[in-house]
Amino acid sequence: VRATVDDRVRREISARGLAQSQIVVLDALLKLRQVCCDPRLVKLDVARRIEGSAKLELLFEMLDELLAEGRRVLLFSQFTEMLGLIEKELAERGIAYLKLTGDTQDRERPVREFQEGRVPLFLISLKAGGTGLNLTAADFVIHTDPWWNPAVEDQATDRAHRIGQDRPVTVYRLVAENTIEERILDLHAKKRDLADSLLAGTDVSAKLTAEELMGLLRQ
């Protein structure tokens, strides 16, 4: 996947320049972020040939241990399709869960059931869980994929740090080693306003040089 998008981005930038290559650049970054989570998220034939996901395997090792200990877990992802893959695995394992995304009509019901202790695992899309939720029953938070704007991620985490929280809350962030996930986080530490541009689809050329961009795509 990296080789495919790298070649496409190089050709596009060479022909049109970075400022005029926004769609191709953002699509490349999206595919690489998705493949870090699970290859099945990527709409490319080369990705469909891959079975399994290291991140998903690690996630369920963690969940098995946490739920066995009686922990109450909030699990966030920016990709609703990733939540769908997690749901499928949970159903196969017979693990009860609640879910909240932008498509959820009744937000109060799953929040109430989690707070009352009926179900110990709550899957939440990052945008849907960013504001307006009080989930103090949680003592663990897992982010399956890093959001490049830490403020958005922190807003989601803070759902467990509301008034009434009386226990420590542990936060896990799952980051694929030696991938674009690590590189964007490193770059973001240097350019604090970069993440918003990358995800909003605005002019990344104002924030990112062609050399820095190709560094994100390197092997």
Helix (H) / strand (E) containing 33: helix 22-37
Q: What is the pLDDT of residues 106-152, one digit of tens each?
A: 889 999 999 999 999 999 998 777 666 788 889 999 999 987 677 77
Long-range CB contact pairs, 80-87, < 8 A, 24+: 80/125, 81/40, 81/41, 82/37, 82/38, 82/41, 82/144, 82/145, 83/123, 83/125, 85/38, 85/40, 85/41, 85/53, 85/56, 86/56, 86/59, 86/123, 86/144, 87/123
Is the pLDDT score of 202 beyond 60? no
Q: Which residues pair with 150 in a beta bridge?
A: none
Would you place residue 197 in the very low, low, confident or very high pLDDT band (cuts 50, 70, 90)?
A: low
Q: What is the pLDDT of residues 56-91, one digit of tens each?
A: 999 999 999 999 999 999 999 999 999 999 999 999
Q: What is the pLDDT of residues 9-36, one digit of tens each?
A: 888 888 988 778 878 888 888 889 999 9
- At 48 the pLDDT is 76
User: What's 41's DSSP letter?
Assistant: G
The pTM (predicted TM-score) of the whole model is 0.84
Q: What are phi and psi of 74, to 5 degrees?
A: -100, 130
